[in-house]
Amino acid sequence: MNDGSNISPCALIVMGVSGSGKSTVASRLAERLGWTFEDGDRFHPASNVAKMSAGHPLNDEDRWPWLQAIADEIGRVCDSGGHVVIACSALKRTYRDVLMRGRNDVRFVFLDGNRALIAERMAARKDHFMPPGLLDSQFKTLERPQADERAITVSIDTPVETIVNNIVAQMTGEARTRRP
């Protein structure tokens, strides 16, 4: 059975709770790889943005159309031979399953950080629709990726360039170990 471990990804989904640096890391990673960057937030329907802006967490029913829209974009890019890095919270395994749609050429990059550091970063952000008050609901919802999901996990307590270097090193290290 092919578990996808020898398949080069056409899509990387940079995941984590709000404030973990998904958009920043994903855009820099895309730049480094020469891939397209997409911010998953742009796929939210206006009703989701309004709900979060009002301080209300999304529920699964709110998230399904959003996740499907991102999965559609992944399919479009990958099926046309392109490559994309997408910033998307992907907090639950069921959400990640929707995003993958059974593909073995999609990988997750989990930005791992503690609540105190992320709360500090959120407090410093300006003009973002996700209020810091929803951070607890993000951590409550988060299901850390399991080993069988083959996620690349990186700590966010270093500068962005170091985080990107760590991601690329893990990707290239995996490629090196797969060669005959």
Confidence of residue 54 (pLDDT cuts 50, 70, 90): confident
Parallel, antiparallel, or unpaired: how do β-strands 152-155 and 84-87 relate?
Answer: unpaired
Q: Are 37 and 30 in contact (CB under 8 A)?
A: yes
> Given a cut of 90, is residue 132 above it in pLDDT?
no
Q: Are 38 and 13 in contact (CB under 8 A)?
A: no
Residue 1 belongs to some domain of the structure: no
Residue 5 belongs to some domain of the structure: no
pTM of the predicted protein model? 0.85
**Token pair listed for 51:** 């709900």
Residue 141 belongs to some domain of the structure: yes
Residue 2 belongs to some domain of the structure: no
Residue 65 belongs to some domain of the structure: yes
Distance CA 88, CA 66 (A): 10
Residue 32 belongs to some domain of the structure: yes
Residue 44's domain is classified under what CATH number? 3.40.50.300
Which residue, 156, 161, 154, is CA-closest to 32?
Answer: 161
pLDDT in tens, 62-114: 999 999 999 999 999 999 999 999 999 999 999 999 999 999 999 999 999 98
Angle between helices 22-33 and 160-178 (to 10 degrees): 50
Distance CA 4, CA 106 (A): 9
- Within 10 Å of residue 112's Cβ, how many Cβ atoms? 16
What range defines the domain where residue 15 resides? 11-178
Phi, psi of 6 (to 5 degrees): -105, 15
Please state the domain count of the chain. 1
Residue 3 belongs to some domain of the structure: no
Confidence of residue 138 (pLDDT cuts 50, 70, 90): confident
Confidence of residue 146 (pLDDT cuts 50, 70, 90): very high
**Residue percentage of the chain with pLDDT more than 70:** 84
Query: Which stretch of DSSP H or E encloses residue 110?
Result: strand 106-112
Residue 55 belongs to some domain of the structure: yes
